[in-house]
Amino acid sequence: MLTALSIRDIVLIEALDLALDEGLSALTGETGAGKSILLDSLGLATGARADAGLVRSGAEKGTATAIFETPSNRALKALLEESGIEEEGELILRRVQSADGRTRAFVNDQPVSVALLRQIGDMLVEVHGQHDTHGLLDAATHRGLLDAFGGLEKDVRALTDLHGAWKAAQAELATETEEIERARADADYLRVAVGELRELAPEPGEEDALAGERTLMMSAEKISADLTDALATLEDDGGVEARLAAALGRLEARQDAAAGRLDAAVSALDRAVVEAGEARAQVAAVLDGLEFDADRLEQVEGRLFALRAAARKHSCTVDDLPQVTERLAARLEDIEGGEGRLKELTAAAVQAHEAYLARARKLSDARATAARKLDKAVAKELPPLKLDKARFHTEIDIVADADGGPDGLDRVRFEVATNPGAPFAPLAKIASGGELARFMLALKVSLAARGGAPVLIFDEVDAGVGGAVAQAVGERLAKLAQAVQVLVVTHSPQVAARADNHLKIEKRVKGKAKSDLPATHVTPLESDARREEIARMLAGATVTDAARAAADQLIGAGS
């Protein structure tokens, strides 16, 4: 509900602080008094398009502030939370328009973009009139209004969850498919590479061992000759051992007589005999094992060269080849195993889509039922509004299964035909200004308390009608005001008489100087003042007793 509207320096309004009540509020006054300025100011506060021409002459800036009770609108609360705007029972929308064209927007004194202000404002206020009609004219809103009318919001939320699950399954399947396709291109290479490496069967440290063996075998002939010469030296003339043993025997024979002076020499020779024997045996053993084998050399070189070639191919060291083998084998296993995973994800995506479609089709049936009920409800409202020849129809187009969205498969559009036999078409294309506002009134009465903005404004919805039709317009506005707050700009006494609140708009000049500018004033009317205004609306410039009596009759009929 709109609880207050504060205006500073907007067109003819110098300063205005207006408190508003629930129910139906009528705004009346002479043409040109400034009724439209109030609507322009409210539009400015709620994000409508603005320009420097709105600023009062001589002022640097104009300000419009609208205060709302925060409605229990989930979408609005989510938007406020997403935007980081705190609210405690009320929303204060403020717009500052500078004379130089600049504009600033605030929500609860927090600076926001004009786009966000407009988005919030559209959730709070709908304006319906001959020249400024939106909301119901936007076909994008029709599906939500139909769902609200049919009480289908819970079903839509459930469907939205299923749609999200389906899209998530599709995304996971697409990712996995892309990865599998990339892997398939490498599969043949991996199979060959893994087969080669497993056949080669590299082992850690193998390169150093083979290289050492190869070096040894290539040097075997020269080493063998040197060892033969060394062994001959150790064995010639009875051998080093025999000569050392003979020398040891002579020293031992004189050891006692030498009074200990030969002990060290005897000990050294004794060790020399033993070590000389060991040295000769080692040289002989190495010589025996150092036979040159051309076939073995070829085998060693072939294995070593194969290992090094594999390392170059995989850009690694020979010692890394075992780990490379394991890694490539794992990749190949993933590819082969991924085919099964792909089948699982495909089945999951199909299942998620089928679950979504089943719920979406059920929702489509429920919408078709709600559409028939809405068409009947609107049809009942048209004849009293002098639209008895008009027809209203809720058109539902069902899109292809693959094109379903979070709200379902349906595209909903409200259409009318204003003359018998004429085809149905969108509201904005075939209805005149007065007809359009009355169509909107019929719709809003039918949709009352079933969704939409909590504040509705009808600008001269009674234009071009009078008598019984104007009476019917007033009755339906009053009926609508039982569910939402309604403000109506009207020249019809029948409509004004049905209002719960009556605001008179008039233009006054403070002083008598030619330079004094006129200003718009708003006066809440009660009792006699209200009767006098309705009588003026009935009689014109001269209010007669008969007009007052007629005003009393209208007010009494609306009570």
Check residue 434 and give its pLDDT.
63
Axis-axis angle for helices 294-313, 153-200 (nearest 10): 160
pLDDT for 511 equals 57
Secondary structure of 144-178 as H, E, C letters: HHHHHHHCCHHHHHHHHHHHHHHHHHHHHHHHHHH
When mean pLDDT is compared over 220-224, 357-361, 387-391, the highest value belongs to 357-361
Query: Among 193-207, 253-267, 392-406, 459-473, which is the least confidently predicted range?
Result: 459-473
Which pLDDT tens digit goes with each residue over 495-506? 899 999 999 988
In terms of pLDDT, which residue wins out, 511 or 496?
496
- Using one digit for the tens of pLDDT, what is the confidence trace for 64-110? 999 998 777 778 888 888 898 887 778 999 999 999 999 999 999 99
Give residue 167's pLDDT: 94
Phi, psi of 509 (to 5 degrees): -115, 125
pLDDT band at 149 (very low <50, low <70, confident <90, very high): confident
Domains of the chain by residue range: 178-336
Per-position DSSP letters for 514-532, written without gaps between them = TTPPEEEEEEEE-HHHHHH
| DSSP conformational letter for 55 | B
For range 127-131, the mean pLDDT? 63
pLDDT at residue 464, as a whole number:
64
Strand intervals (E) in 11-58: 13-19, 24-28
Residue 165 has pLDDT above 50, yes or no: yes
The strand ranges marked E within 281-359 are none
- Containing 554, the helix (H) or strand (E) segment is helix 545-558
Instruction: Give the residue among 366, 350, 343 at the shortest CA–CA distance from 401.
Output: 350
Q: How confident is the model at residue 518 (pLDDT cuts 50, 70, 90)?
A: confident
Q: What are the φ/ψ torsions at residue 73 (nearest 5 degrees)? A: -105, 115
d(CA 398, CA 410): 5
Strand positions, DSSP E, 382-433: 391-398, 410-417, 425-426
User: In sequence order, which residues have a C-beta less than 8 Å from that of residue 266 and are 6 or more positions away?
Assistant: 248, 251, 252, 255
Question: Does the pTM exceed 0.85?
Answer: no
C-alpha count within 13 angstroms, C-beta hemisphere, residue 6: 9
Mean pLDDT, all residues of the chain: 85
- CA distances in angstroms from 135 to 3, 25, 94, 496, listed in the order given: 22, 20, 21, 24
Q: In whole angstroms, what separates CA 244 from the centre of its chain?
A: 99
In Å, the largest CA–CA distance within the chain is 173
Collapsing DSSP to helix, strand or coil, 282 comes out as helix
Whether the predicted pLDDT of 554 surpasses 60? yes
How far apart, in Å, are the Cα atoms of 530 and each of 478, 502, 536, 550?
Answer: 17, 7, 10, 13
| Per-residue pLDDT, 95 | 96
Phi-psi region of 456 (alpha: psi -120 to 50; beta: other; left: phi over 0): beta
Tens of pLDDT along 462-497? 666 667 778 888 888 888 888 889 998 888 898 899
CA of residue 525 relative to chain centroid, distance: 49
Neighbours of 212 (CB within 10 A): 11
The residue-averaged pLDDT of 340-360 equals: 92
Instruction: Look at the alpha carbons of 477, 482, 483, 484 in this order and tell me if their dihedral is positive or negative.
Output: positive
> DSSP class of residue 247?
H
